[in-house]
């Protein structure tokens, strides 16, 4: 059916959810709902949720809770909980959000349209958390894109088979499934035609792309994407350390569009904790992979994810993680306090760590990393780097006092994923320009452009 009205979509969580929200927007658009950023105008509100940590889950309930009053004044408003919390909670979501109309699980996208029809024709409270062997395939609708039209996420696989003991992903996103290479190439070709310059290929463990389906390997997929005209940069996440193959390292080294940046989540520097997490590698194996990577790609930037306060983590184990940061010198890290998830086995592990203790470890870790992030940024001073222009600079952080306030500032990213601010009136979003780096700050670089290439 075709309706007329506005759709407001709130996205919580990871890059995959950003991608999924664009798919949901496209489905709604095909049913006549135009995307709006004005919540008050909405005739349908979708909250695309994340359950990776307790805080993200609470954010979803609190966002949807706001619509109790609004729905009283606007009874035709349809409220939807989509994504991981929807999959996890099912029917139970109605108990916490009584005014909710639809609970749309992670594998129910292909049925979203008919579900809206059913609600429109008077059906109340629909839950769809059924599994689906097929991945929902639909070409992107560029009119539904978020603001950034230069850099796009493309999910290449869904679910996960790794079952790390702290993680909800296998429980809410299902078993690992890979998309067909032809579908991925068609999608990226369409994105390139729409002006997209950079794609980030997404999966929970991209190294195992296509293995179950006996399709081409991930390095071969990278090579195929590298051949797409109009795409200038290729990124990917996430690579699992246990499966980081030499072929992937060579692909990063040899394919000109693959950025020299790798996100390789280590989670902990302690072998005891890595074993309890079921990560499938040791600290030594992780370091070995990093050494191999740095040998082949000496300028590669490295980032990682770390969880502190996993059950039974002692100060000694935590020190192992701190020392790993000193040994590897990552360019940046994402660090989290362990969050208990009832569907993940670690929730039932003994020796849970006190919340204050977790906070203290997290602060210590972030404090140490700040030193290395700034150090890595300072190493860029004097270099001439290619920067993909993303937009106008927002409010500049402290430390930019030397910059004239009246000067027009733009912002972009280096291949190594570092943010660069620079003064210019003559570049447009999507240009790749050479910038001489002159200053480095804890979170970004600053420099002068040398010339544009379109």
Q: Which of 13, 170, 203, 449 binds ligand SF4 (CB under 6 A)?
A: 170
Is there binding between residue 164 and ligand SF4 (CB under 6 A)?
A: yes
Q: Which of 7, 14, 18, 202 binds ligand SAM (CB under 6 A)?
A: 14
**Which of these ranges, 165-173, 187-195, 282-290, 352-360, lies near ligand SAM under the rule CB under 6 A?**
165-173
Q: Which of 19, 338, 441, 446 binds ligand SAM (CB under 6 A)?
A: 338
Which positions from 178 through 207 interact with ligand SAM, judged by CB under 6 A?
204-205
Structure-block tokens of residue 426: 């003559």
| 220 contact partners, CB below 8 Å, separation of at least 6 | none
Is there binding between residue 111 and ligand SAM (CB under 6 A)?
A: no
Cα(399)–Cα(376) distance, rounded to whole angstroms? 17
Q: Report the phi/psi class of residue 440: left, alpha or beta, with left for phi > 0 and alpha for psi in -120 to 50.
A: beta
Cα(161)–Cα(153) distance, rounded to whole angstroms? 22
> Measured from the CB atom, is 60 or 164 closer to ligand SF4?
164
Q: How far is the CB of 205 from ligand SF4 (least distance, A)?
A: 5
> Measured from the CB atom, is 238 or 414 closer to ligand SF4?
238
Q: Which of 59, 233, 240, 376 binds ligand SAM (CB under 6 A)?
A: 240
Cα(159)–Cα(162) distance, rounded to whole angstroms? 9
Is there binding between residue 162 and ligand SF4 (CB under 6 A)?
A: yes
- Tally the residues of the chain: 454
Is there binding between residue 296 and ligand SAM (CB under 6 A)?
A: no
Q: Please, are residues 110 and 132 in contact by the beta-carbon 8 Å criterion?
A: yes
**Which residues is 411 bridged to in the sheet?**
391, 421
Cα(432)–Cα(305) distance, rounded to whole angstroms? 29
φ and ψ at 100, to 5 degrees?
-70, 140
Cα(304)–Cα(288) distance, rounded to whole angstroms? 15
CA atoms within 13 A on the CB side of 291: 7
**Which of these ranges, 159-167, 210-218, 254-262, 387-395, lies near ligand SF4 under the rule CB under 6 A?**
159-167
Q: How far is the CB of 192 from ligand SAM (least distance, A)?
A: 27
**Which of these ranges, 161-169, 246-254, 353-361, 392-400, lies near ligand SAM under the rule CB under 6 A?**
161-169
Among 234, 238, 180, 187, residue whose Cα is nearest residue 210 = 180
Which positions from 229 through 258 interact with ligand SF4, judged by CB under 6 A?
240
Max intra-chain CA distance, the chain: 65
Q: Which of 155, 205, 377, 416 binds ligand SF4 (CB under 6 A)?
A: 205
Binding stretches for ligand SF4 (CB under 6 A): 160, 162-164, 167, 169-170, 204-205, 240
Binding stretches for ligand SAM (CB under 6 A): 14, 52-53, 166-167, 169, 204-205, 238, 240, 265, 267, 305, 307, 336, 338-339, 341
């Amino acid at each position: 059916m075709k309706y007329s009205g506005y759709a407001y979509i709130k996205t919580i969580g990871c890059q995959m959810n950003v991608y999924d929200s664009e798919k949901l927007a496209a489905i709604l658009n095909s049913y006549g709902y135009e995307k709006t950023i004005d919540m008050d105008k909405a005739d349908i509100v979708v909250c695309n949720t994340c359950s990776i940590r307790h805080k993200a889950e609470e954010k979803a309930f609190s966002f949807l809770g706001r619509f109790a009053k609004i729905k009283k004044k606007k009874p035709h408003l349809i409220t939807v909980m989509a994504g991981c919390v929807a999959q996890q909670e099912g029917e139970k979501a109605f108990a916490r959000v009584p005014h909710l109309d639809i609970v749309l699980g992670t594998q129910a996208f292909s049925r979203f349209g008919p579900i809206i029809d059913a609600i429109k024709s008077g059906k109340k409270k629909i839950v769809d958390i059924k599994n689906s062997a097929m991945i929902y395939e639909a070409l992107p609708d560029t009119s539904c894109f978020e603001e950034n039209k230069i850099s796009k996420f493309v999910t290449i696989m869904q679910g996960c088979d790794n079952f790390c003991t702290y993680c909800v992903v296998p429980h809410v996103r299902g078993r690992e499934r890979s998309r067909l290479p032809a579908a991925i190439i068609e999608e990226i070709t369409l994105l390139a035609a729409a002006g997209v310059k950079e794609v980030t290929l997404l999966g929970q463990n991209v190294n195992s792309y296509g293995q179950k389906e006996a399709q081409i390997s991930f390095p071969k997929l990278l090579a195929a994407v590298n051949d797409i005209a109009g795409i200038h940069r290729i990124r990917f996440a996430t690579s699992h350390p246990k499966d980081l193959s030499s072929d992937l390292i060579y692909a990063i080294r040899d394919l000109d569009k693959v950025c020299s940046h790798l996100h390789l989540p280590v989670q902990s520097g302690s072998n005891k904790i890595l074993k309890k997490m079921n990560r499938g590698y040791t600290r030594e194996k992780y370091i070995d992979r990093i050494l191999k990577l740095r040998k082949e790609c000496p300028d590669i930037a490295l980032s990682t994810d770390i969880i502190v306060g996993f059950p039974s983590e002692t100060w000694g184990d935590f020190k192992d993680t701190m020392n790993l940061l000193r040994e590897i010198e990552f360019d940046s890290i994402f660090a989290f306090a362990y969050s208990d998830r009832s569907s993940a086995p670690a929730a039932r592990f003994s020796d849970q760590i006190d919340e204050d203790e977790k906070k203290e470890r997290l602060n210590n870790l972030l404090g140490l990393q700040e030193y290395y992030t700034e150090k890595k940024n300072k190493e860029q001073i004097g270099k001439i780097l290619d920067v993909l222009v993303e937009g106008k600079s927002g409010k500049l952080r402290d430390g930019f006092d030397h910059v004239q306030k009246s000067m027009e500032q733009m912002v972009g990213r280096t291949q190594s994923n570092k943010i660069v601010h620079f003064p210019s009136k003559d570049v447009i979003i999507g240009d790749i320009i050479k910038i001489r780096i002159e200053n480095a700050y804890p979170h970004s670089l600053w420099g002068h452009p040398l010339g544009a290439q379109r």
